[in-house]
Amino acid sequence: MNVLIIYFSQTGNTEKIAEKIQSGIIESENNCEIAKIKNVNMDEIKNYDLIGIGTPTFFYREPKNVQSFIQKMQFLKGKHSFLFCTHGSQIGNTFYYMKEELNKKGFIIISLFDSYASSSIQFYPTPMQTTGHPDEIELREAEDFGRNICDLSMKIYSGDNTIIPEFKLISDTWWAQESNMLTLKILRKISPRFQINLDKCTKCLKCQENCPVNAINIESLPPEIQKEDCIFCWFCEKLCPEGAIEADWSLLRERAKINLLKYIEFLKEAEEEGKFRPYIDYKKIL
């Protein structure tokens, strides 16, 4: 079986999971290629038997650039796909919305995998509640997932549809309501306006080259940032080696305190169920 894994990753956590899934697929004596979402040739997707798509969660669902990618995919009736994501406590409706869009393209979603992941959002304290993830256990589970995914696909291709996962849209929780509210229009209003300090900027182009939606042009006069396509991942500000991208996070820090308490409650519940292993004392970040 020929498999293609497509992923979006910024801090490297989703990439680690993608690579482990690829390793497991290869160990199962199947072919597997891996590609960053920005580098995928859309015309070549049809040449693979199984497509994996991986992403971090943004605001309890897949980020806008992943949404746009799926919407641009060609219709491939009956093609199998699996989904994976990394998150800081709550997957939200990530898999549901990805499934909905992929179904419109003819894809059948055959399996899912998720992992906790370290995060470094600017308006939350450091270290974060998921520091140390994905850990060795999660990476091993990702490899096991890859080792079994092709056999699972073959069973479904042979007619066993009972093992296809079911999906449910969750809409009656605080995080689901917040996710629906956080449109790009709203994010543009509440996000701090980034400013480029020209005295610090060396035009290394790191921010421009790593922007997932090409919403930065450092080489223009004056330099442009947070252009219309910006998805407010805020990665460029973290990435700048000179600290030349400046922002005031004070308002979002105040708003984030309540959510942080809720995230930790999610993690405590997951810990009691044996699904999460904390590597820091929660009290240190409250």
CB atoms within 10 A of CB 242: 12
Nearest 5°: the CA angle 162, 51, 16 is 110
Amino acid code (one letter) for 267: L
Domain annotation for the chain: domains and CATH numbers: 2-163 (3.40.50.360)
Cis peptide bond upstream of 241, omega within 30: no
Angstrom distance (rounded) from CA 20 to CA 22: 5
| Nearest residue to 282 via CA among 89, 134, 141 | 89
What is the pLDDT tens value at each position of the chain, 286 positions in all? 999 999 999 999 999 999 999 999 999 999 999 999 999 999 999 999 999 999 999 999 999 999 999 999 999 999 999 999 999 999 999 999 999 999 999 999 999 999 999 977 888 888 889 999 999 999 999 999 999 999 999 999 999 999 999 999 999 999 999 999 999 999 999 999 999 999 999 999 999 999 999 999 999 989 999 999 999 999 999 999 999 999 999 988 888 888 889 999 999 999 999 999 999 988 777 6
Per the listing, tokens 């308490």 go with 261
Asked whether the CA dihedral 145, 21, 39, 4 is positive or negative, the reply is negative
